[in-house]
């Protein structure tokens, strides 16, 4: 006898911020906008607000991720704030444990530690971060396990203790866009966030594998899936497409090796591109939800049905900060209506 599935619960809403530096703006502007956006997300009932680690990119101001996590946590009250993620190959686990242990002591039960295994930058910058370190496939699982030990209560005779850090049990999340991270999260019984905001191709395969292989742990009794969702919402489809042209330009830059500041929107931008360029952008943004309130609600409903995700992690690169907040308003109301 096959059990009937209950209607899936409505996904929680959270936000991932790359802290975009806008054309004509400064890093200080970007940091101020991030705080304002986090406060607005908190007012809308978002669960968490994550910052992503990237380096040597003029359009992204979140490279010192732990510093920014602390700044935003200090400017909010109830929102969980964390990394989405810390790129573990760039850091010694003890340093990460001490930084996030300090944050956990400052903001109890509000800090998340999302971990990725990509360098978050180019080869020369990676060498500048970790000098002559040579990364192997075994390093990431070992470093994650070491972080777990460092954030757990110190054991008798333990020679290396993270102070602060030990006993804080900062929640660890694994992030990824491949099957490797999905399998590791399942084996370690950790929550899993898939980076479908920029690499959606393996989304369904990865979360299916994660759920299939999941082993309950002291951390998590059952699988917990977060999916990244690019969102551009506006009162009309036409305006949403216009605002989304900033994202389209940014994506095209990534695909062609140009990583500048977030550009202002351009009317009918996609119409100016060749078919292969349009197809590449569409592939990159296959999980995106763009449009008016009805379109956003329909997009969320379809994505929730397909993925059964526990949480949507929204990414919203709208050039005008006020219209970005409006986009989050529309998204929150659309999700609440599911």
Determine, yes or no, domain membership for 158: yes
Q: Which residues of 13-26 are buried (b: 16+ CB within 10 A; e: fewer)?
A: bbbbbbbbbbeebe
Determine, yes or no, domain membership for 296: yes
**Neighbouring C-alpha atoms within 13 Å toward the C-beta of 33:** 25
Average pLDDT of span 190-205: 95
Model pLDDT, residue 123: 60
Determine, yes or no, domain membership for 6: no
> Using CA atoms, how far apart are residues 104 and 136, in angstroms rounded to an integer?
30
Determine, yes or no, domain membership for 119: yes
Determine, yes or no, domain membership for 2: no
Question: What is the 3-class SS of 254-284, one letter each residue?
Answer: HHHCCCCCECCCCCCCHHHCCHHHHHHHHHH
Determine, yes or no, domain membership for 5: no
> Using CA atoms, how far apart are residues 68 and 63, in angstroms rounded to an integer?
9
- Length in residues, the chain: 338
Which alpha helices (H) appear in the chain, and where do they start and end?
Answer: 27-43, 65-74, 93-106, 123-130, 139-151, 179-188, 203-213, 237-256, 275-284, 293-307, 321-336
- How many C-beta atoms surround the C-beta of residue 189 within 10 A? 16
More confident residue, 132 or 206: 206
> Using CA atoms, how far apart are residues 239 and 296, in angstroms rounded to an integer?
13
pLDDT band at 236 (very low <50, low <70, confident <90, very high): very high
Residue 6 has pLDDT above 60, yes or no: no
> Using CA atoms, how far apart are residues 192 and 175, in angstroms rounded to an integer?
6
According to DSSP, the residues that pair with 228 across neighbouring strands are: 313
Determine, yes or no, domain membership for 1: no
- How many C-beta atoms surround the C-beta of residue 235 within 10 A? 11
For tokens 């850090």, name the residue.
165
Q: Which of 330, 263, 309 is nearest to 40 (CA)?
A: 330
Query: Is the Cβ–Cβ distance between 79 and 36 less than 8 Å?
Result: no
Model pLDDT, residue 45: 98
pLDDT per residue over 39-90, tens digit each? 999 999 999 999 999 889 999 999 999 999 999 999 999 999 999 999 998 8
pLDDT band at 2 (very low <50, low <70, confident <90, very high): very low
DSSP state of 197: T
What mean pLDDT value characterizes the chain?
93
Strands 192-194 and 311-315 turn out to be unpaired
> Using CA atoms, how far apart are residues 181 and 174, in angstroms rounded to an integer?
7
Residue 3 has pLDDT above 50, yes or no: no
Residues in Cβ contact with 80 at an 8 Å cutoff, skipping those fewer than 6 apart: 14, 47, 48, 49, 110, 111, 112
> Using CA atoms, how far apart are residues 334 and 338, in angstroms rounded to an integer?
7
- The whole domain housing 38 covers 12-336
Average pLDDT of span 279-284: 96
For tokens 């075994």, name the residue.
138
Q: Which of 236, 258, 262 is nearest to 318 (CA)?
A: 262
- How many C-beta atoms surround the C-beta of residue 322 within 10 A? 10
pLDDT per residue over 97-111, tens digit each? 999 999 999 999 999
Determine, yes or no, domain membership for 205: yes
Model pLDDT, residue 118: 73
Cis, bond preceding 85 (omega within 30 deg of 0): yes
Structure-token pair, residue 69: 């996590």
Q: Which of 220, 130, 136, 204 is nearest to 171 (CA)?
A: 220
The number of domains in the chain is 1
Task: Give φ, ψ of 189 to 5 degrees.
Answer: 65, 45
The CATH number assigned to the domain holding 246 equals 3.20.20.30
């Amino acid at each position: 006898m096959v059990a009937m599935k209950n209607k899936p619960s409505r996904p929680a809403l959270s936000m991932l911020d790359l802290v975009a530096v806008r054309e004509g703006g400064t890093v200080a502007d970007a940091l101020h906008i991030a705080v304002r956006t986090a406060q607005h997300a908190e007012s809308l009932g978002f669960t968490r607000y994550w910052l992503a680690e990237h380096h040597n990119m003029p359009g992204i101001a979140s490279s010192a991720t732990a510093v920014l996590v602390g700044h935003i946590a200090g400017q909010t009250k109830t929102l969980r704030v964390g990394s989405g993620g810390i790129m573990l190959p760039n850091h010694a686990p003890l340093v990460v444990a001490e930084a996030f242990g300090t944050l956990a002591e400052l903001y109890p039960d509000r800090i998340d530690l999302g971990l990725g295994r990509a360098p978050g930058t180019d080869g020369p910058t990676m060498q500048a971060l970790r000098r002559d370190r040579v990364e192997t496939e075994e390093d990431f699982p070992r470093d994650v396990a070491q972080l777990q030990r460092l954030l757990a209560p110190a054991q008798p005779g333990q020679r290396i203790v993270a102070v602060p850090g030990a006993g804080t049990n900062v929640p660890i999340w694994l992030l990824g866009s491949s099957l490797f991270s999905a399998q590791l999260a399942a084996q370690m019984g950790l929550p899993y966030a898939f980076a479908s905001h920029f690499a959606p191709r393996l989304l369904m395969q990865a979360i299916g594998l994660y759920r299939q292989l999941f082993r309950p742990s002291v951390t998590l009794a059952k699988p917990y899936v977060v999916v990244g969702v690019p969102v551009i919402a506006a009162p009309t489809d036409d305006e949403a497409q216009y605002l989304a042209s900033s994202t389209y330009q940014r994506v095209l830059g990534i695909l062609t090796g140009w990583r500048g500041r977030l550009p202002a929107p351009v009317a009918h931008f996609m119409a100016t591109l060749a078919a292969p360029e349009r197809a590449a952008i569409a592939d990159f943004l296959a999980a995106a939800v763009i449009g008016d309130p009805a379109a956003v609600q329909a997009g969320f409903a379809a994505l929730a049905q397909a993925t059964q995700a526990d949480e949507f992690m929204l990414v919203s690169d709208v050039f005008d900060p006020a219209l970005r907040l409006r986009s989050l308003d529309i998204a929150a109301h659309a999700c609440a209506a599911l």
